[in-house]
Amino acid sequence: MAQASSTLDQNQFSCPICLDLLKDPVAINCGHSYCMSCIKSCWDQEDHLGVYSCPQCRQTFIPRPVLNRNTILAEVVEKLKKTGLQAATPADHYAGPGDVECDFCTGRKHKAAKSCLVCLASYCETHLKPHYESPAFKKHKLTDATGRLQDKVCSQHDKPLEVYCRTDQQCICYLCTMDKHRSHDTVSAAAQRVEIQKQMGETQREFQQRIQMREKELQELREAVGSFTSSAQSAVEDSERIFTEMIRSIERRRSEVTKLIRDQEKAAVSQAEGHMERLKQEIDELKRRHSELEQLSHTEDHIHFLQRCQGLPVTPEAGFGPRISVSPRSDFGNLRKVVSELKDQLENVCRKKIAEIHHPVTKDTILPELVPRTRAEFLQWELLFLSPAASWSFTFT
């Protein structure tokens, strides 16, 4: 209870401008209290208008009120200071690197909660209260705190950007619709955002489907590599066993076949690993784009949404390679048959059978030959995979 009372005292005797305990407190005609230096500084900026207002309720005064120190209030504040009940602001309420600062805080700036497109200023929670409480600010346009308020205002008419010109594909103000963009196809920024976000929803679903498809292909490819490696290892072991039973004269041929199998295994696995790496990169990129669209779809700032969505991908297919199909499981069965026959034959037939071995080994692979079906698909492949030294040839259908 003592702590709650302390917080109440701090709020009652804090200056709404500097947010610290009142220094030389004064009460102006509307009843609100400020530090004398704070309200003087505020009214000094209104001298050229000749009309002075309360920063909280916006009540105006003519002429400039005479300020007198509120002795009783000053004594109460001094007692608060002696009891140690200083007004404290949590550290996370102060603006840090990258945060938008409140334009009305003096001294150490607080973090802005909203920006006003009419005032062209940003406000912390305390200085934002008049925009919520005073009828004078009822028509002001508040948006998420931003340090680039000029980007939300028409450079020609100095009015908020609230309209989207479909003809010129840019954000404009209402005066622009009667000027340079007269007779153009225009809608409100909110309406255009709804239309684009509807399209974006379809794109996000396509991204999700593509992610699931690629993840499935990646899993199939992993399983195929494991099966292929196991099959290759089994083929090596079988051939080693058969060749060991043969006479010394065919030892050299055994080494040739073993090397052939290993080379093909290495080439096939290397090819598959390359596609696996590409699939991982595509999945990461698809997830990144999906996340970017997800974050953008939740922003409340229509203008930021429209300006950012211009550079986003329309469909998830752009910049990605073709689908990958995995070949059925291979077990080097033909090789075993040929090697078994070779065991019963003499050296004079070994040279002929080695040529027969080469063909069944090289045709076993994890992935079929990938051939682009269209010119556009070929250009995508060339961009994604081909190095300057590559010399692949393709047939278009």
Q: Is residue 244 part of a domain?
A: yes
Residue indicated by tokens 């929803």: 201
Q: Is residue 157 part of a domain?
A: no
State the average pLDDT over residues 321-330. Answer: 68
> Cβ(124)–Cβ(113) under 8 Å?
yes
Residues with Cβ within 8 Å of 143's Cβ and at least 6 positions away in sequence, in order, are 114, 115, 116, 117, 152, 300, 301, 303
Q: Is residue 338 part of a domain?
A: yes
Q: What would the DSSP string read from start to end of 240-255?
A: HHHHHHS-GGGHHHHH
Q: Per-residue pLDDT tens for 50-69? A: 888 888 877 888 888 888 88
Host domain of residue 352: 211-369
DSSP letter for 156, please. T
**Token pair for 29:** 């005609």
Residue indicated by tokens 């400020």: 34
What integer pLDDT is reported at residue 275 of this predicted model?
Answer: 86
DSSP letter for 151, please. G
Report the CATH number that the domain containing residue 10 is assigned in CATH: 3.30.40.10
152-156, 179-183, 268-272, 387-391: the lowest-pLDDT one? 387-391
> Cβ(67)–Cβ(28) under 8 Å?
yes
pLDDT of residue 129 exceeding 50, the answer is yes
Instruction: Round to the nearest angstrom and report the end-to-end CA distance of the chain.
Output: 82
Q: Are residues 79 and 224 in the same domain?
A: no
Spatial separation of the C-alpha atoms in residues 21 and 79, rounded to whole Å = 11
What integer pLDDT is reported at residue 101 of this predicted model?
Answer: 85
What integer pLDDT is reported at residue 215 of this predicted model?
Answer: 93
Count CB neighbours of 34 within 10 A.
26
Q: Are residues 82 and 215 in the same domain?
A: no
124-138, 152-166, 299-313, 380-394: the lowest-pLDDT one? 380-394
Q: Is residue 257 part of a domain?
A: yes
Amino acid at 327: S
- The structural domain count of the chain equals 2
Q: Per-residue pLDDT tens for 384-394? A: 444 333 333 33
Q: Is residue 254 part of a domain?
A: yes
Of 53, 88, 123, the position where a domain reaches its end is 88
Spatial separation of the C-alpha atoms in residues 365 and 332, rounded to whole Å = 10
pTM for this model (two decimals) = 0.37
Spatial separation of the C-alpha atoms in residues 272 and 147, rounded to whole Å = 49
pLDDT confidence band for 181 (50 / 70 / 90): very high
Share of the chain above pLDDT 70, in %: 77
Q: Are residues 83 and 217 in the same domain?
A: no
In our burial notation (b when 16+ CB lie closer than 10 A, e otherwise), range 360-383 reads bbeebbbbeebebeeeebbebbee
Q: Which segment, 40-44, 209-213, 264-268, 298-302, is predicted with the most confidence on average?
A: 209-213
- DSSP bridge pairs for 34: 26
Q: Is residue 10 part of a domain?
A: yes
Nearest to 109 by CA among 122, 268, 120, 62: 122
Residues with Cβ within 8 Å of 225's Cβ and at least 6 positions away in sequence, in order, are 269, 272, 273, 276, 366
Of 88, 117, 146, the position where a domain reaches its end is 88
Q: Is residue 103 part of a domain?
A: no
Q: Are residues 215 and 359 in the same domain?
A: yes
Question: CA torsion, points 13, 19, 25, 31, in degrees to nearest 10?
Answer: -70
Nearest to 333 by CA among 242, 215, 191, 238: 238
> Cβ(307)–Cβ(151) under 8 Å?
yes
Spatial separation of the C-alpha atoms in residues 124 and 109, rounded to whole Å = 9
Q: Is residue 167 part of a domain?
A: no
